[in-house]
Amino acid sequence: MLPILQIGRLAIPTPGQILLLGLWFGLTLSEKLARLEQKIAPDRIDTLAIIALAAGVLGARFFYAARSPAVFLQHPLNLVSLNTAMLDVTGGLICAGLAALIYIQRIKMKFWETLDALTPFFCVMAIAIGLAHFASGEAFGSPARLPWSIHLWGAYRHPTQLYETVLALGVAFSVWPRQRKDRISGLRFLLFVALSEIARIIVESFRGDSSYLFGTLRSAQVFAWLVLAVSLAVIGSRLKLSPVEGPSGGTQ
């Protein structure tokens, strides 16, 4: 684990740096893909990312403040704190998604083509999140005595952060853009979602910090099964379309 990178007197949070590098590298790949496929203007990818990121950060802080108002009533300056622990990830994702959808609708970007173009970004961020978890020690595994176990929080555990990273690499390899002119729009992104949820179901089985529903069901797995079912249903509907869609095919 390496939560802090110390350079002289400068202390840099390693997980945050990993996520920033993932953000930059993922957007770079998505821009290159947009130029190659010529379906989405690369500059719109940049603008979409900036809007979603800003909305996500603000939303994450707002949701955290709504959930824990005492923290900010006692210390109002915490509202602009750089502490990532005071962010609600779920709230941030909701706000980022809503902002992105509004932007896509307002400038009439093709919905499925946009998600396909952003899939390399999502792949890189999934890998970066796994590495960030490993650096911080978060999302740790359940106790286990295995040749590859890691010692963390006072016990030998499954290296679930590395499981997460390796599976994310496998998902990225499976959905990485290939030269296929007859590809159905949206299929790349939907396949990424389906495979990522399968990976989440697998990794969650070895987690040591899971939250439970009704005392027995891991909440993350329940959510993953629901998302997997929806993504497979949408994949089925997309596969019924003609392989070569018209100009409006991306919005169907």
Percent of the chain at pLDDT above 70? 88
Give residue 176's pLDDT.
Answer: 87
Comparison of pLDDT for 71 and 131, the residue scoring more: 131
b/e sequence 155-178, b meaning 16+ C-beta within 10 Å? eebbbbbbbbbebbeebbeebebe
- Has residue 89 got a pLDDT over 90? no
Tens-place pLDDT, residues 223-251 = 999 999 999 999 999 888 755 454 444 44
* pLDDT tens for each residue of 100-121: 999 999 998 989 999 999 999 9
Task: Specify if 236 maps to a domain.
Answer: yes
Residue-number span of the structural domain to which 196 is assigned? 4-40+110-251
Q: What is the mean pLDDT of residues 127-145?
A: 91
Asked whether residue 125 is domain-assigned, the answer is yes
Torsional class of 229: left (φ above 0), alpha (ψ -120 to 50), beta (otherwise): alpha
In a domain, 61, yes or no: no
Span 175-202, mean pLDDT?
86
Residue 76 within any structural domain of the chain: no
Q: Looking at the domain assignment, is residue 122 inside a domain?
A: yes
At 58-81, the pLDDT tens digits run 988 888 888 788 877 887 877 777
- Using a CB cutoff of 8 Å and minimum separation of 24, what contacts does 130-134 make? 130/161, 130/162, 130/164, 130/165, 130/166, 130/168, 131/18, 131/22, 131/161, 131/165, 132/14, 132/15, 132/16, 132/18, 132/19, 133/15, 133/160, 133/161, 133/164, 134/1, 134/159, 134/161, 134/162, 134/165
In a domain, 132, yes or no: yes
- pLDDT for the residue 249: 45
In a domain, 57, yes or no: no
143: three-class secondary structure by DSSP: strand
Once rounded to an integer, what is the mean pLDDT over residues 160-188?
Answer: 86
Q: With bands split at pLDDT 50, 70 and 90, how would you rate the model's confidence at 82?
A: low
Q: What percent of the chain has pLDDT over 90?
A: 47
* 81-92 mean pLDDT: 72
Q: Can you give the pLDDT at residue 179?
A: 62
Q: Tell me if 78 is assigned to some domain.
A: no
Q: Tell me, what's the pLDDT at 84?
A: 63
Give the per-residue pLDDT at 127.
95
pLDDT digits (tens, 9 = 90+) for 145-156: 999 999 998 899
- Number of compact structural domains in the chain: 1
Q: How far is CA 197 from the centre of its chain?
A: 11
pLDDT tier for residue 28 given thresholds of 50, 70 and 90: very high
